[in-house]
Chain A
Amino acid sequence: MNWLASHPFELAELLEQHLAIVGTALLAALIIALPLGYLAARRPAATGPIYGIFGAIYTIPSLALLALLVPVLGLGFWTAVVALAAYAQMILIRNTVAGFQGIDPAQLEAAAGLGMTRAQQLWRVELPLALPVILGGVRIATVALIAIASVAAWINAGGLGVLFFDGIHRNDVQKIVAGSIASAALAVIADALLRGIERMVRT
């Protein structure tokens, strides 16, 4: 706690880096997961392969995944983003599939029967109805990525993980504790915020 109080500017900078990595990774992950999840939900033939590939990536330990990416992408921010985005896929796709599959077929039949085009059915019916479940996935993925993003410091991507690695190198327990508290607090706040949004969307 002492360290946090005495280094507000350094903490702010690390937090900003941490959030940038997580936010960018999440955005990139969503851009991939939403269409893939929709495809997996609507085309049973695609479900198996999509789950297989991203399920496999999900099982690779985070440090190992970073180690594998560094020779290809080098050190730094974007490598961390790629690793985290790959991690988030499985969580996001699973919830996207559940969201779209949870829609009552009668509602889809009605939407088509009333004369909505495919695009109108997607934007006016399917997405709004699947949104609460998809947002649930975003929340779980966000909390997971906030934790995993600490490892990014190991490849010079910055973030709260810097405190862990510095602390370990210099045998500075204060820094390790500070990093843990900051990262846990961030996860708790993000979780609460996203829960709030989920509740707003649900009604």
Chain B
Amino acid sequence: MNSASLELRDVSVRYPGADRSAVMSVDLTVAPGEFLVFLGASGSGKSTLLRTINRLVVPTAGSVCINGEDTKERPAPELRRGIGYVIQAVGLLPHLSVGENIAIVPELLGWEKARIAERVDTLLKMVRLDPSYRTRLPRELSGGEQQRVGVARALAAEPPLLLMDEPFGALDAIVRSELGAEMLRIHRDLGTTIVFVTHDIDEALRLADRIAVFHDGRLLQVDAPLRLLTHPADSYVAELTDSSDVLRRLSVMHTADAATADVPPGVEESAPRIDARSTLRDALGQMLLTGEPLLVVEDGRARGVLRFATIAAALRQ
């Protein structure tokens, strides 16, 4: 798998003329292949910290290491060619076709023409755009399609690390969750380490392996989504994540985790079924409608049974 580790050591950023630091002494380690989300309100320093990773912002203090190598050891353009970067405003170059936009980094790296052409085809497929899009201009595409190209462009040279700065923030809710699902699939397929900035708690919960919560330039907590909701580090995290919201908590738990292992005779034939990867929130909704227990199924095989009581027990754990 092509994935990098990332280590932020005591990173601070203070912009010239500002009366307080935008980022204050952040320590953070990201494991290879992890999907880490930076969550925080605007002005929390999450974007600034993200931009220190590809040195669009130079830290005032501290260091950033990728695969153990300090990022300041290499010229910034060279460093950036090895890190995918997706921004909210997309920033496709309007005078270049979709294919040419995707080919920018491979071209900077001096790949051969045939290899670039082949790679562009692969990427269009990966982000589910028709091959005919290759010759179209960015302005002919919808916002969601443009960001698909933005993602393809960022992944063009197979970077082991991908930075995404509120990439779907300007898109409507439907397209946003659609593209979020695409990112999860791409992350599963490629294993790329991803650092993803958002202010949307539900987006963070849907995508993250772990969530890092920022406030006023400080890192308050880094934890897996469920742990963040059940054990908020302080009242700010509790409020930001609205952690007392039981339904939200159920939305980050999966049916496989709460189902009883035994399947009583008769249930397997009659009970309505639900996939083991579904959330408990979806399961609860279904159960409220039918009033019946659910059979949890994984790859066509029964895994267990889900009842109101088992969901309640899982919540109390």
| Residues of A in contact with B (beta carbons under 8 Å apart) | 104-117, 120, 125, 128-129
Assembled-state Cα–Cα distance A112/B89 (Å): 14
Kindly list chain B residues whose C-beta atoms are within 8 Å of the C-beta of A106.
87, 89-91
B54 contacts the other chain (Cβ, under 8 Å)? Answer: yes
Question: Across the interface, do A111 and B93 meet the contact criterion of CB distance under 8 Å?
Answer: yes
How would residues 183 to 222 of chain B score, 1 for a CB under 8 Å from any chain A CB and 0 otherwise?
Answer: 0000000000000000000000000000000000000000
Within 8 A of A (CB), among B210-246: none
B78: CB under 8 A from chain A?
yes
6 nearest A-B pairs in the assembled complex, by CB-CB distance: A110-B91, A106-B89, A115-B81, A115-B80, A106-B91, A113-B85
Known A120-B108, A128-B95: A113·B89 in contact at CB below 8 Å: no
Question: Do A113 and B93 touch (CB < 8 A)?
Answer: no
In the complex, what distance in Å separates the CA atom of A110 from the CA atom of B92? 7
Residue among A108, A109, A111, A129 having the largest count of chain B Cβ atoms under 10 Å: A109
Which B residue's beta carbon lies closest to that of A129? Answer: B95
Contact of A113 among B78, B87, B92, B95 (CB under 8 A): B87
Please state if B56 and A109 are interface contacts (CB–CB under 8 Å). yes
Interfacial residues of chain B within 83-101, with CB under 8 A of chain A in the complex = 85, 87, 89-95
B residues within 8 A CB of A111?
Answer: 91, 93
Contact A114 B85 (CB under 8 A): yes
Contact B77 A117 (CB under 8 A): yes
Q: A110, B87: Cβ atoms under 8 Å?
A: yes
Question: What is the CA–CA distance of A129 and B85 in the complex, to the nearest angstrom?
Answer: 21
B79 contacts the other chain (Cβ, under 8 Å)? Answer: yes
Kindly state the separation between the CA atoms of A109 and B86 in the bound complex, as whole angstroms. Answer: 10
**Bound-state Cα–Cα, A125 to B101, Å:** 11
- Chain A proximity of B52: nearest CB distance (Å): 13
Identify 17 new A-B residue pairs, CB closer than 8 A, beyond the known A108-B91, A125-B93: A106-B89, A107-B91, A109-B56, A110-B85, A110-B87, A110-B91, A110-B92, A111-B93, A112-B80, A113-B80, A114-B81, A115-B78, A115-B79, A116-B77, A116-B108, A120-B108, A128-B95
